[in-house]
Amino acid sequence: MNIAASILEIAVIGLGIAVMLADLWLPREKKIWLGYAAAAGLTLILFGSFSMSGNPATLAFGDMYILDAFALFFKRFFLIAAILVMIVSIEYSPKFQTGKGEYFTLVLFALAGMMFSASANHFALLFVSMELMTITFYVLTSFLRNQILSLEAGIKYLILGALSSGFLVYGIALVYGTTSTMDFATLREKSALMTDNPLLLVGLLMIIGGLGFKIAAFPFQFWAPDVYQGSPSSTTAFLAVGSKAAGFALLMRLLFVAVPDITLQWEKLLMVIAGITILYGNLCALPQRNLKRLLGYSSIANAGYLMMGIAAMSASGSTAILYYLYSYMFTVIAAFLIIILVMKHTGAEDIVHLAKLHERAPGLAGVMTLSMVSLAGIPPLAGFFGKFLLFEAVIEQASAQSSYYLLAAVAIVGVVISLYYYFGVIRTIYWGKQQMIPEDIQISPASNAALWVCSVVIIYLGIMPERLMQAATAAVESLKF
Amino acid sequence: MSILTFILFLPLFGAGLVAMLPKSAKGLIRAVALASTALPLLCAILAFLSFNGAEAGPGGYKFYQKVAWVTALDINYQVGADGINIGLILMGSIVSFAAVCVSRSIQDRTKEFHFLMLIMIAGIMGTFMSIDIFFFYFFHELALVPTFIMIGVWGRGKNKDYATYKMTLYLTLGALVALVGLVLLYVQSGAKTFDLIALQEQLRNNPISADAQTTIFGFLLFGFGILVSLWPFHTWAPVGYGAAPTATAMLHAGVLKKFGIYGLIRIALPLVPQGAQAWLEVLAWLCMGNILYCGWVAMRQKNLNKLIGNSSVAHMGFVFLGIASMNLIGISGAVLVMIAHGFLAALSFGLSGYLYDQKKTLDMDQYGGALRQMPFMGSLLVMAMMAGCGLPGFANFAGEITVLFGAWKSLPWFVTGTAWGALIIGAVYALRAVRKMLHGPVANDTLPLQDAANYWIKLPYVLLVASLLLFGIFPSLLTDKIRTSVAEVVKSIEAGTQDQQTNLAEESVKTGLDIQLAGQD
Amino acid sequence: MAFSVLALLIGGSVAWSLYSKAESDPIANRLHGLSTALKNRLYFDEIFNGLIYVTHEAVSKLAEWVDRILLSSFIVKGLSNVVDVFGRGLRLFQTGSIHTYAFLFVVGIALVMFFVMGGVL
């Protein structure tokens, strides 16, 4: 037993329990402080994580749990995401009649699930960590208890999530049945010898389906728009960033560490999934007027771009995914925070509500523009460099296998389509026609700070990519390409 | 630190300053914007004048500077100037300064406009001085969002939204296709670097296979082609420029659009010459589309901006023809046309903006006898139109005739077509516009046109006309510099294609340039 | 040299003999149509103008039509409309009903397996 390896998760769970207990004693009007406390605690844990090293890798809990550079990279990612989401939640929490404290606690527990998933080296931990994350999300999505849309989102996520978990477990069972192991390291050796065992392949495909649900990749993405739209905005942000990243962490470890030889046969499958996901997300987002739903479709499209990195099946592809996830996190959280700030009192999140934002709140207008431009992948912002790396990884493969050209072409079409709706948001902000009475916008210091952090990082990652590139490259080395 | 870095970062610095100024301080904002383009202009003139004496750095680039950026991919901030881009940098800074000068009419959201314009200018400058293909692309894209917002907010006309989107989507598509080509170069060269000098070195010794070259050149040709409005991907240009505010149209049509051509000459021709040869015929046919077809379309335009837009697309055909000739004279001519057209497009759009500010329309039927009301600006418009149809004495003539000389040997039929198109069609629409707008009875109108009131208003236009005349009368100021650098490009092409015939063609046309230059001086 | 002097002398004397005492142009009366043609510089301007009309004007009408209708409206706008229709069409999948989603999820997994095990992908 090597409990010290999982100290970060333990700290997060401890923080969660502390927040839950404090929730009992605090008077109602002060519960908001729990959120600040949790964010502060997470910041401390984040700083603590820099004293740890994933090199050499440490195994714990009977080799189920691995702490390597890859896992540590993702754990820091999840911690940063959770800190930002915590601030978003505080901004959103006036909409919860009861249970603010519970909400913050649940965010922490979901975070613990994500952090465990980054370290999963065994199907049991993979499943448990994913369920820890997913089950908390069932509650988080339906947290607006008196709003029918939120409840509907919760139910949809619950039922479809249960369905996908079912496939996942069944897949794990099949893999265990054929290889009699659930450990990734052992599986790597055994699967190399049985690359055409149909039962093993079926099992793995089911697992990919279960993970595909998490990352909202085609054809497992149908839940995403409805759930994104109905859930509380802070949950949606966490779902878009954390849950998707956890899915990718698991998928990368599964495909490139556990069954690399089988993955090699599946380049076409992965390409097709990536391509269709890109097209589906972007095409559906085109006529969309609801901002949250638009970001839901955009998150599908982004899952497609990220899948390009998987389909490239190379170290540079995986590095690109890690970079892209960071850029995506900051842009999306900034966007959701602005949605919450601008549309505090309106029920629906229609794009029209952003009209004339440049007059009402020039700063918010600027950050929203940054966020949209970054999502569209235009320099000098983070999203551009992320997309550039993904393109580079795909084109690198094109000289050997020309169908990668097709994938690049699809991605280009996707980016051009996406420009239309991302820039539509910018258009509304700067020269849209106003239809509603504008609300006055108040920004709390914490949100202000979060917006500053997001916009600075969006620009920083675009013009100074070196540091994160190095970290991502080092993390990908653990995947043993 | 290189002088080029100043030219690049001063506008960015200015943009930062403008962002911090209060909205109401319009005078101060204008002053900052003027200063942050006037200083780069001085630097550019200084660089241009001291170019011959400057010390050559790696790859023959002068004013060279290199800062490592992303080591994992070997991307470096790397600027430098040779004979091909020094003229472009000078042209770019003159046009930028002129564009800021003419933006005094922007009263609504002055701060935002100047902020965006300075960012766009920085992007433009960076594009033409980068000798790292990543940054080359990066800076071009940097100018995209400002262009989008500027046209959207300050643009004109009923369908400006349509124009904005059309232009943005086209430009992005072109840029992405070109990006695939650039990344392919990075991947397939085996050098794993975006450093243009190192790439050239690597490819000189181990060229890419002919098939791969054809693929890469195809991506670059169509990607860059869309950006330069190569026929039939040109429809964004007249629509976009028709809707764009004056300064944006000047900057984009004048300078930024040359990104694609510059990319073809700087990257595609020397690095994948065999690919270029494979696509030669296609390119020659498409540039006929530009020269003839777009000229014809321009003949039917009733709106001055659309006319200028279409004629500017037609002029791009000359540049493509020069590239397609793949020899010293032709490519030198292409570079010359690029610079001359930059001045010309900026001048034409500047003048049309001047007219629009007064009449709020550019419908040519609404004008008449304008020369009587505004003799000074009217004469400038006549000069712009004459320069557009290739009147000797203007830089355009020097460039176009050089292209025709260069292309004569390899593509005689195309040259005939071009000459026909340029001389007749160009003259028809230019002279008709002059007749309709400037001569004839004064238009019956409540708003008489005002001539430029003072020297400050005249300054940008005079600057542009003076540049056109200067380089038209003394083209050797440019050609001397251009020829040495293009000779390097041609050398790479010849080494890459191993074609003896080009050599011969080379010799025979070299005399052509001397004849032409003698005629010019 | 001598030839040109001779030509000058002949020409000059012919002109002198014709015009010295004439009140109106004597050639115009004798040559009728040809003289009008000569007066109008053999109609070169008109021919050029007509040529331009026949060639360039006509072609430019066609080119402008192609540009406006065929390229801009039909192809470019058509393409964007096709994309738009696809966007709207795909939304039909998003019925909002859990049954549909669950069904599509299972169909999706089944299709993936079918294609992978069938060797297509």
Q: Tell me whether residues C90 and A283 touch, CB distance under 8 A.
A: yes
User: What local confidence, expressed as pLDDT, does residue A26 receive?
Assistant: 86
Closest in A202, A220, A226 to C96, CB measured = A226
In this prediction the pTM is 0.89
Q: What is the mean pLDDT of residues A294-321?
A: 92
Q: Is A218 on the interface with C (CB under 8 A)?
A: yes
pLDDT digits (tens, 9 = 90+) for B210-255: 888 888 899 999 999 998 888 888 888 888 888 889 899 999 988 9
User: What local confidence, expressed as pLDDT, does residue A457 receive?
Assistant: 93
> Does B515 have pLDDT greater than 70?
no
Residue C41 maps to a domain: yes
Q: Is A284 on the interface with C (CB under 8 A)?
A: yes
Closest in A412, A423, A465 to B168, CB measured = A423
Q: Chains that contact C by 3+ CB pairs under 8 Å?
A: A, B
CB–CB contacts below 8 A, A to B: 77
Helix, strand or coil, per DSSP, at residue B499:
coil
User: What local confidence, expressed as pLDDT, does residue A1 receive?
Assistant: 55
Domain boundaries, chain B: 3-520
Interface of A with B in 417-446 (CB under 8 A): 419-420, 423, 426-427, 430-431
% chain B with pLDDT above 70: 93
Residue C90 maps to a domain: yes
User: What local confidence, expressed as pLDDT, does residue A251 receive?
Assistant: 93
Closest in A209, A269, A284 to C90, CB measured = A284
Q: Distance from CA of residue B463 to its chain's centroid?
A: 17
**Owner of token pair 């970054």:** A374
Question: Which residues in chain C are contacts of A159 at CB distance < 8 A?
Answer: 98, 102
Whole-number Cα distances in Å, B123 to B149, B248, B341: 15, 13, 19
User: What local confidence, expressed as pLDDT, does residue A438 receive?
Assistant: 64
Structure letter (DSSP) for residue A407: H
User: What local confidence, expressed as pLDDT, does residue B509 receive?
Assistant: 53
User: What local confidence, expressed as pLDDT, does residue B494 receive?
Assistant: 81
User: What local confidence, expressed as pLDDT, does residue A368 receive?
Assistant: 92
Token couple for A416: 């051009």
Closest in C90, C94, C102 to A159, CB measured = C102
> Does A390 have pLDDT greater than 80?
yes
Contact present, B76 and B67 (Cβ < 8 Å)? yes
> Regarding predicted confidence, which is higher, C31 or B456?
B456
Helix, strand or coil, per DSSP, at residue B229:
coil
Rounded-to-integer distance, Cα A82 and Cα B412, Å: 68
Residue A58's pLDDT band (cuts 50, 70, 90)? confident
Express the helix, strand and coil content of chain A in percent, nearest 5 each. 80, 0, 20
> Regarding predicted confidence, which is higher, C31 or A148?
A148
Contacts of A27 by beta carbon, 8 Å cutoff, 6+ apart? none
The number of distinct structural domains making up chain C is 1
Helix, strand or coil, per DSSP, at residue A66:
strand
* Lowest-pLDDT choice from B80-89, B173-182, B196-205, B499-508: B499-508
User: What local confidence, expressed as pLDDT, does residue A437 receive?
Assistant: 63
What integer best gives the mean pLDDT of chain B? 84
Residue C103 maps to a domain: no
Token couple for C104: 């599509």
> Does A128 have pLDDT greater than 90?
yes
User: What local confidence, expressed as pLDDT, does residue A40 receive?
Assistant: 93
Residue by residue, DSSP assigns B22-52 as -TT-HHHHHHHHHHHHHHHHHHHHHHHHTTT
**Rounded to 5 degrees, what are φ and ψ at B80?**
-175, 165
pLDDT digits (tens, 9 = 90+) for B344-398: 999 999 988 888 888 887 888 788 777 888 888 888 888 898 888 888 888 888 8
Instruction: Show the beta-strand stretches assigned E in B319-387.
Output: none
Q: Is A481 on the interface with B (CB under 8 A)?
A: no
> Does A240 have pLDDT greater than 50?
yes
User: What local confidence, expressed as pLDDT, does residue B446 receive?
Assistant: 61
**Rounded to 5 degrees, what are φ and ψ at A181?**
-150, 155
> Does B47 have pLDDT greater than 50?
yes
**Owner of token pair 């999306």:** A332
* Lowest-pLDDT choice from A333-337, B207-211, B419-423, B487-491: B419-423
**Residue A10 burial (CB count, 10 A):** 14
pLDDT digits (tens, 9 = 90+) for B314-339: 888 888 888 888 888 888 989 999 99
Domain that holds residue C85: 23-94
Sign of CA dihedral A43, A45, A48, A52: negative
Token couple for A1: 């037993």
Rounded-to-integer distance, Cα A427 and Cα A446, Å: 28
Q: Is A433 left (phi over 0), alpha (psi -120 to 50) or beta?
A: beta
Q: What is the mean pLDDT of residues C87-91?
A: 83
User: What local confidence, expressed as pLDDT, does residue B500 receive?
Assistant: 39
> Does A347 have pLDDT greater than 70?
no
**What angle is formed at CA B75 by the lines to CA B72 and CA B79, rounded to 5 degrees?**
155
Contacts of A322 by beta carbon, 8 Å cutoff, 6+ apart? A73, A471, A472, A475, A476
Instruction: Show the beta-strand stretches assigned E in B170-320.
Output: none
Rounded-to-integer distance, Cα B213 and Cα B221, Å: 12
Token couple for A47: 């700083």
Express the helix, strand and coil content of chain C in percent, nearest 5 each. 85, 0, 15
pLDDT digits (tens, 9 = 90+) for A359-376: 888 888 899 999 999 999
User: What local confidence, expressed as pLDDT, does residue A333 receive?
Assistant: 94
User: What local confidence, expressed as pLDDT, does residue B501 receive?
Assistant: 47
Q: Which of A382, A375, A426, A417 is nearest to B149 (CA)?
A: A426
Sign of CA dihedral B229, B235, B238, B244: negative
Q: Distance from first CA to last CA of chain C, Å, rounded?
A: 92
> Does B508 have pLDDT greater than 70?
no
The continuous run of DSSP H or E covering B66 comes out as strand B62-70
Domain boundaries, chain A: 260-481
pLDDT digits (tens, 9 = 90+) for B265-302: 888 888 888 888 888 888 888 888 888 888 888 888 88
Q: Which of B338, B181, B187, B190 is nearest to B275 (CA)?
A: B181
User: What local confidence, expressed as pLDDT, does residue B119 receive?
Assistant: 92
Residue B513's pLDDT band (cuts 50, 70, 90)? low
Question: Which residues in chain A are contacts of C104 at CB distance < 8 A?
Answer: 219, 222
Q: Which of B134, B149, B135, B140 is nearest to B121 (CA)?
A: B140
Contact present, A214 and A246 (Cβ < 8 Å)? yes
Rounded-to-integer distance, Cα A132 and Cα A111, Å: 9
Question: Which residues in chain C are contacts of B301 at CB distance < 8 A?
Answer: 64
Interface residues on B facing A, Cβ-Cβ cutoff 8 A: 69-73, 112, 134, 138-139, 141-142, 144-145, 148-149, 152-153, 161, 164-165, 168-169, 172-173, 176-177, 179-180, 183-184, 186-188, 212
Q: What ipTM does the predicted assembly reach?
A: 0.88
pLDDT digits (tens, 9 = 90+) for A130-174: 999 999 999 999 988 888 888 888 999 999 999 999 999 999 999
pLDDT digits (tens, 9 = 90+) for B444-475: 666 677 777 788 888 889 999 999 999 888 88
Q: Distance from first CA to last CA of chain B, Å, rounded?
A: 37
Q: Tell me whether residues B168 and A415 touch, CB distance under 8 A.
A: no
